[in-house]
Structure 1
Amino acid sequence: MSDKAPAWVVPVMRAGYAARGAVYLVVGGLALTAAIYGGAAQGTTDALADLRGRAWGVPLLWAIAAGLVAYMVWRFVDAWLDLECHGTDAKGLVARAGQIVTGIIHGAIGGSVALTAMRGSGGGDGTQSVTQKLMQMPWGPWLVMAVGLITVGAGIYYAHKGISESYKDHIRVTPLARRLDPVMKAGLVAEGIVIVIIGLLVAYAGLTNDPGEAGGVGAALGEIRAVAFGRVLMGAVAAGLVAFGIENLVEAVYRVVPRRSGPDVMTLARRARLKAEGKLQQAAA
């Protein structure tokens, strides 16, 4: 295996992050509108279906679908070639398995978006549909609960990634990236909150043996709105999802692949370490 990643993975990665950014800008923007003006937040598929009736909506949907498939390919190749140097110990293998899972999820969303572009309507709640299929398998409810708990873990990972600022490890230093740093942090935390709620809903569906209890982004935002001051909280989380969309767009432009760019590229994390050590000016020189 070559130590350097093939050049083609970089444009594939950038297309994937750009598409994911577009998805969250649409979903978060519509949810924020619902929080401000009233109404229910939509799930991912139904939110994207609204684009079809707008000018250039269908080409945009196809572009998003292609980008999400590119994101899936990027994640598979990333995990297989270990482009982010996670290693082969237990922690590294778990991280690489997580990359494969996120790739599968976004590839499935890409297929749903393509169907939306062709048929002109949302596909309903995909989470409930998948949960129902899992329920029909041997040990179905237990499997659904396990998936729910894994999803909760993924949400905690996203939130921790934002709070610990580990996302800075792969973002190249630019003036714009530095200015958007607080936005990226808030976006990752908000995404973590939503994913945790989705995981809890899926786990509860397995516990009650009722696929109708599961739900995706729309259901998670609905749960947030149902609590005290829920409309304000939903607006804050929706704004966070918009921020997560921006975070993905930043990654689309400024993300580096360690096994392509090498260890000496100036990332946000490396700049912060050098500044803390008083070596920043020396490195710049």
Structure 2
Amino acid sequence: MPQHPAPPESRRDDPAENSARGFAWAVPLMRAGYAGRGLVYLLVGGASLWSIWHGGSAEGTGEAMGRLQGALGTAILLLIALGMAAYAIWRAVDSIWDLEDYGNSPKGLIARAGMITTGLVHLGLSGLAITVLLGRSEGLGKTELVNRLLASPGGQAAAGIAGALTLGAGGYYLHKAWSEGYRDHMQGNPATLHLNLVLKAGMAAHGVVIAIIGFLMMQAAAYASSHEAGGIGTAFNWLQDKTYGQILVTFLCIGLLGFSLVCFVNAAWCIVPKADDRGLQTLKDMLNS
């Protein structure tokens, strides 16, 4: 029988190769998380545009989830709950083991800390989907949570810090859209190449929403009132009151549909440096070649 040559020592002992094999299990978790995240923004953007088209107003995450009825609605809510839980776990794993290779520099540590915060937010969305599934969504809302935070000792300062961090996260997404930093961890292929402008617009729209939420949280902390603090729905309401608000909200909803596409593209083609094949070509490399 022919003898197959043993793998070269350099490859067998390559720490990068060993690391990729050791964390390969995290890749399906990441893909499930991004798919669930895409479902959330597809639901919010789609339901809001439908409501606007029929003379209503844009809706927040809880309201959009509440629209889901019947067997199909139950299935979608279950997928969202599982996907958001997977995304929360993925962000914790990613941060602890630095699977996206941000490093231990101050900038890298801030990015990794932000992953934990993002994971907690999406774990909350998983819980929201479960409460809607159980028919207990009445009385839930970020405004109520902010009220409780403001009433606790040191709550006003904590709300201000949380708002500043959220505002910073919005700025990060806007910078990522402007610099096209999302290309660094995205596989280069004809699909991602032709969707680049849509991905850029979707990332920017998400940054705008997050920045508005952060600004409103800081405002609530400054005035010790949660009247305008909340989530996506509150951001829509705040923007709606501005000049040409309905037009701005409509464009923002379209942008969130674009961000849902960003999530689905990541679910299919995101590259995890410490868990994927090191030979995969990124979209950045493809565009620069």
TM-score, shorter chain, exceeding 0.5: yes
Query: Which residue does 1:25 correspond to in 2?
Result: 42
The letter of the residue matching 1:118 is L
The letter of the residue matching 1:225 is Q
Query: Which residue does 1:216 correspond to in 2?
Result: 231
Q: Does 1:105 align with 2:121?
A: yes
Contact 1:41/1:221 (<8 A) preserved: yes
Query: For 1:130, which of 137, 141, 145 is the aligned residue?
Result: 145
Q: Deviations over 1:238-263 (max 9, x none)?
A: 00001000110000001111112244
Distance 1:273 1:123, change over 3 A: farther
The letter of the residue matching 1:71 is Y
Q: How does 1:79-228 map to 2 (within 5 A)?
A: 79-119=95-135, 122-123=137-138, 126-228=141-243
Query: For 1:57, which of 51, 66, 73 is the aligned residue?
Result: 73
Q: Does 1:35 align with 2:52?
A: yes
Structure 1 residue 55: Cα displacement = 3.9
User: How far apart are the structure 1 equivalents of 2:130 and 2:230?
Assistant: 21
Larger mean CA deviation between 185-194 and 139-148 belongs to 139-148
Structure 1 residue 125: Cα displacement = 5.7
Structure 1 residue 181: Cα displacement = 1.4
User: How far apart are the structure 1 equivalents of 2:171 and 2:250?
Assistant: 21
Larger Rg: 2
User: How far apart are the structure 1 equivalents of 2:157 and 2:79?
Assistant: 37
User: How far apart are the structure 2 equivalents of 1:217 and 1:251?
Assistant: 22
Query: For 1:255, which of 262, 266, 270 is the aligned residue?
Result: 270
User: How far apart are the structure 1 equivalents of 2:240 and 2:222?
Assistant: 23
Distance 1:128 1:40, change over 3 A: same
Query: Which residue does 1:3 correspond to in 2?
Result: 19
Query: Which residue does 1:241 correspond to in 2?
Result: 256
Query: Which residue does 2:94 correspond to in 1?
Result: 78
Distance 1:158 1:124, change over 3 A: farther
- Secondary structure of the structure 1 residue equivalent to 2:67: helix
- Secondary structure of the structure 2 residue equivalent to 1:56: helix
| TM-score of the pair, normalised by structure 1 | 0.91
The letter of the residue matching 2:243 is A
- Secondary structure of the structure 2 residue equivalent to 1:259: coil
Number of corresponding residues: 272
Identity %: 39
Contact 1:112/1:123 (<8 A) preserved: no
User: How far apart are the structure 2 equivalents of 1:123 and 1:8?
Assistant: 37
The letter of the residue matching 1:186 is A
Q: How does 1:268-283 map to 2 (within 5 A)?
A: 268-274=283-289
Structure 1 residue 173: Cα displacement = 1.4
User: How far apart are the structure 1 equivalents of 2:77 and 2:241?
Assistant: 31
Contact 1:173/1:267 (<8 A) preserved: yes
Q: Deviations over 1:32-60 (max 9, x none)?
A: 22333321211111211211x14421122
User: How far apart are the structure 1 equivalents of 2:273 and 2:113?
Assistant: 18
Q: Deviations over 1:101-124 (max 9, x none)?
A: 0001001110111111111x5455
Structure 1 residue 142: Cα displacement = 1.5
Distance 1:123 1:76, change over 3 A: farther
Contact 2:185/2:282 (<8 A) preserved: yes
- Provide the alpha-carbon RMSD of the alignment: 1.6
Query: Which residue does 1:283 correspond to in 2?
Result: none
Contact 1:125/1:216 (<8 A) preserved: no
Q: Deviations over 1:69-107 (max 9, x none)?
A: 000000000001100111111111101000110001001
The letter of the residue matching 2:252 is V
- Secondary structure of the structure 2 residue equivalent to 1:3: helix
| TM-score of the pair, normalised by structure 2 | 0.90
